[in-house]
Amino acid sequence: MIHLNDGVILYHGSYTEVSNIDMSQCNPGLDFGIGFYLTSSVEQARAFVPASIRKAKRRKLIPQDFRLEDGVVSVFKYHSDPNIFIHHFDEADEEWLHYVACNRNDDLFRELRKKYHTVDIIGGKIANDKTATTLNNYVAGAYGVPGQIDTDQRTIEILEPNHLQDQFCFKTIQAIECLSFVKSIRYGEF
In this structure, is the dihedral angle defined by the CA atoms of residues 185, 188, 189 and 190, taken in order, positive or negative? positive
Q: Residue 53: what are its φ and ψ, rounded to 5°?
A: -65, -45
Would 66 be classed as within a structural domain? yes
The residue range of the domain holding 96 is 9-189
Number of domain units in the chain: 1
Q: How confident is residue 78, by pLDDT bands cut at 50, 70 and 90?
A: very high
Whether the pLDDT of residue 127 is over 70: the answer is no
Q: How confident is residue 190, by pLDDT bands cut at 50, 70 and 90?
A: confident
Would 2 be classed as within a structural domain? no
Would 4 be classed as within a structural domain? no
Query: Once rounded to an integer, what is the mean pLDDT over residues 113-137?
Result: 84
Whether 146 contacts 139, CB under 8 Å: yes
Would 3 be classed as within a structural domain? no
Q: How confident is residue 25, by pLDDT bands cut at 50, 70 and 90?
A: confident
